[in-house]
Amino acid sequence: MRADEERRRKCVRAAAGAALVLTICTAGALAQGPEQKRAESYQTFYLKNSTGQGAANDIQNALRNMLPHARIYYVATENAVSISGSPEEIAGAQRILGDIDRPQKTYRVTYTISESGGGQGGTQQHFVLIVSPGSRTSSKQGTRVPIVTGQYKSDEPPNTQVQYMDIGQNIEASLDGSGEGLRLHSKIEETCIADEKSNVGIQDPIVKQSVLEARSAVVPGKPAMLGSVDMPGGRHMEVQVTADTMQ
């Protein structure tokens, strides 16, 4: 009888221990509870100085790389960045934008075009374009020449289709970088109507064209030679450029 009583007591103690362990585990699970959602904030930052798609892409990439868990969208119509994330991420985005959305320098880009040869005296022209990094500025000077592209004789009077071509000088300039790392992309194009006539149609002119396109590193205030072009009629053209910082 004593042996049976001892076995019964051992079973009761084992059951009580198991119940205690189960109670502790359940209490721990309840204390942890379901995974809590992180607190999120939302804010829109309006860019004050950065403009253009290139600048917007750079800012977007910087924010997404520095804040990988935040949701970041660029609103092109408002030139603004909308960010959804934790308060710490919003504060971090504000600091990043304060560092990279700074006033951009503007440069006065002066092209000096010298022409010589062809039985005529030398000439020199200066063209000034105002360019900001990340943007493009162009200048056109000349005339628009009509070119007949089609004619419908079934109509009375005949209906003529005309397309206009820009004849003269076209200059395009764009900048990237700043300071000593300033990079300039230039395209200078000159066109003129030749004296000879086309064999295709008596009204179709022959257009002579000279193009100089170059990418070069420039130092503000220091002139740089872009290159030279041999033009129709024995003329020779040299192009020099200077980029000056505007205050």
Question: Strands across the sheet with 71-75, in order?
Answer: 41-46, 80-85, 71-75
Pick the residue with more confidence: 90 or 9?
Answer: 90
Which CATH number is 41-100's, of 3.30.70.100, 3.40.1000.10, 3.30.565.10, 3.40.630.30? 3.30.70.100
Pick the residue with more confidence: 81 or 208?
Answer: 81
> How do residues 146-166 score in pLDDT, each as one tens digit?
877 776 666 566 677 778 888
Q: Provide the Cα torsion 147, 212, 142, 241; round to 10°.
A: 170
The number of angstroms, rounded, from the C-alpha of 7 to the middle of its chain's C-alpha atoms is: 84
Pick the residue with more confidence: 148 or 247?
Answer: 148
CB atoms closer than 10 angstroms to residue 243: 21
Residues 145, 205 contacting (CB under 8 angstroms): yes
Residue 108: pLDDT over 90: yes
Q: CA 80, CA 49: separation in Å to the nearest integer?
A: 11
* Residue 198 backbone dihedrals phi, psi, to 5 degrees: -75, 150
Q: CA 230, CA 210: separation in Å to the nearest integer?
A: 8
Greatest mean pLDDT range, 24-33, 90-99, 172-181 = 90-99
Question: Strands across the sheet with 205-217, in order?
Answer: 136-152, 159-176, 183-197, 205-217
Pick the residue with more confidence: 83 or 143?
Answer: 83
Residue 119: pLDDT over 80: no
> How do residues 176-233 score in pLDDT, each as one tens digit?
876 667 899 999 988 888 777 666 555 677 778 888 898 988 888 899 998 887 776 6
Kindly indicate the confidence band of residue 89, based on its pLDDT and cuts at 50, 70 and 90: very high
What is the model's pLDDT at position 53? 77
Query: Could you say which DSSP state residue 77 is in?
Result: T
For range 165-171, the mean pLDDT: 87
* Residue 203 backbone dihedrals phi, psi, to 5 degrees: -90, -10
Of the candidates 113, 121, 161, 159, the one whose C-alpha atom is nearest the C-alpha of residue 139 is 113
Helix (H) or strand (E) holding 233: none
Instruction: Classify burial at 183, counting beta carbons within 10 Å of its beta carbon; exposed 0-12, middle 13-18, buried 19 or more.
Output: middle
Domain spans of the chain?
Answer: 41-100, 106-246
Residue 38: pLDDT over 80: no
| Token pair 């004296």: residue | 195
Task: Look at strands 80-85 and 106-117 and give their pairing.
Answer: unpaired
Q: What is the largest CA-CA distance in the chain?
A: 137
Query: Could you say which DSSP state residue 9 is in?
Result: H
Residue 8: pLDDT over 70: no
Pick the residue with more confidence: 235 or 65?
Answer: 65
Strand, helix or coil for residue 54: helix
- What's at 4, amino acid-wise? D
For the chain, the straight-line distance linking the first and the last C-alpha, in angstroms and rounded, comes to: 108
| Token pair 């009888």: residue | 1
